[in-house]
Structure 1
Amino acid sequence: MSESETRENIEKKIRKLRKDFQKNVQPVLRRHNYYLSKGERRRIKKKKAIKRIQRRERRMMRS
């Protein structure tokens, strides 16, 4: 392998690691940043679900 190929390989691996970190590690860190009771977590989850459904419905109405 030439030097440029190894450099590209390393850059690809770094990009993959970053993506993996953003997808799997960051949300966990954010979740443990401060304490939320089970009830509060449930309320937030329900609000997000409602917003997601409403957004989907709006998109369906447009098209």
Structure 2
Amino acid sequence: MTEPEATESFEKKIRKLRKDFQKNVQPVLRRHNYYLSKGERRRIKRKKAIKRIQRRMRRLQGL
């Protein structure tokens, strides 16, 4: 393997590792940052869903 090919391969591996970290590890770390009870998680999830639906409705009404 020549030098540019080795560097390119290494950069690709780093990019793949970074992408994997952002997709799989970061959300878990964020979730375990502090304790939330099951009920609290459910309330937050419901609140986010309501906001998401309202945002979607505003976009549709604007068209």
Structures share a fold, TM > 0.5?
yes
The structural deviation recorded for 1:38 is: 0.4
Q: May I ask how many residue pairs the two structures share in their alignment?
A: 63
The structural deviation recorded for 1:58 is: 2.4
The residue number in structure 2 matching 1:38 is 38
The residue number in structure 2 matching 1:15 is 15
Superposed CA deviations along residues 11-55 of structure 1, whole A, max 9, x for unmatched, are 111111111111111110111111100000000111111122222
Give TM-score, length-normalised by structure 1: 0.85
Moved >6 Å (runs of 4+): none
The residue number in structure 2 matching 1:24 is 24
Residue 2 to residue 30, structure 1, CA distance change in 2 (3 Å) = same
Cα distance between partner residues in 2 of 1:31 and 1:37: 12
Cα distance between partner residues in 1 of 2:40 and 2:3: 53
Moved more, 18-27 or 50-59: 50-59
The structural deviation recorded for 1:10 is: 0.9
Q: Tell me how large the CA RMSD over aligned residues is.
A: 1.3
Identity %: 81
Give TM-score, length-normalised by structure 2: 0.85
